[in-house]
Amino acid sequence: MRRTPIVQSALWEDFYKFSMQLFTFRSYDDVWVRFGLKNRSNDKYPLVDLVDEQRLRWELDAAREVVRFSAADREHIASFANIHPGFAEPDYQSFLQNFQLPPYGLAREGTAYRVESSGWWPEAMMWETKGMRICACLAGETLAQQKYGENWLDVVRRENDRRLAGKIARLKRYPELRIMEFATRRSFSPEIQDNNVGRLSTELLPGQLVGASNVFLAQKHNLPALDTMAHELWMVIAALADAQGASDQILRATQMRVCDEWRQVPLFVFS
């Protein structure tokens, strides 16, 4: 049976990655970076015991092949020009047309895996959520198999629906509450996340679900694609200053420098 990869679309991505990518494309496209994946819970959930190395490598290779922006994908990204015109500008659209995830390295380190990729910042940064999602899905699959046996997928689907129904019922008791779906990096699987976004969009009270961070699912379920602000920009710009021998005072100042540059591009309103 043909295996379906976990990463199935270039648009199956949190919207904030595109807004930050556009920022780095405009201001830091000549910065060479190295991204790495670290499991901070490896003592409790050692990835080497939960994730088969061959399967992990297959998924990472598949992601490099799948994450290509078709004309339809680029058109959809360009539709966010109402948020910032840069999404539709020809040079960024050309960048997306030629985009491919940079090569990666995978190695065992004790009970952990080291997954790293080096490249220009606007390119290498897109490995972050994909690497996290692949490892989370594979580890979750193993844990479910260990707990539920050969019928693990049916059990997971039923348990997910049971828990989600309870949460939806509770949320509906608070009509004034507004929520945003933001599960792409740590969802159990693409199927479960798709199911949950669809149910939230149809079963919550009108207006309670304000949007989804996942660009693909937002489009599929006719929801606004919304974003947050990740710490990546602050981390990398501080690291660049540190590499140049910056003093502690200058390092601290990089935190406000990011905010100033975000406003000066000019780019996005904080959300």
**Which tens digits make up the pLDDT trace of 88-130?**
999 999 999 999 999 999 999 999 999 999 999 999 999 999 9
Give the pLDDT confidence score for residue 68 in this predicted structure.
Answer: 97
CA dihedral angle for residue 193, residue 198, residue 204, residue 209, rounded to 10 degrees: 70
Distance CA 111, CA 99 (A): 33
Of the listed ranges 95-104, 164-173, 224-233, the least confidently predicted one is 224-233
Q: What is the pLDDT of residues 69-95, one digit of tens each?
A: 999 999 999 999 988 899 999 999 999
What are the residue ranges of helices labelled H in the chain? 15-27, 47-50, 53-66, 71-78, 90-97, 121-124, 127-148, 152-171, 190-203, 215-220, 232-243, 248-264
CA 97 to chain centre: 20
Tell me the pLDDT of the chain averaged across its residues.
93
Residue 186's pLDDT band, with cuts at 50, 70 and 90, is: confident
Q: Using pLDDT thresholds of 50, 70 and 90, give the confidence band for residue 265.
A: low
Distance, in Å, from the CA atom of 171 to the CA atom of 209, rounded to the nearest integer, reads: 10
Report DSSP state, residue 211. E
pLDDT tens, position by position, 135-155? 999 999 999 999 999 999 999
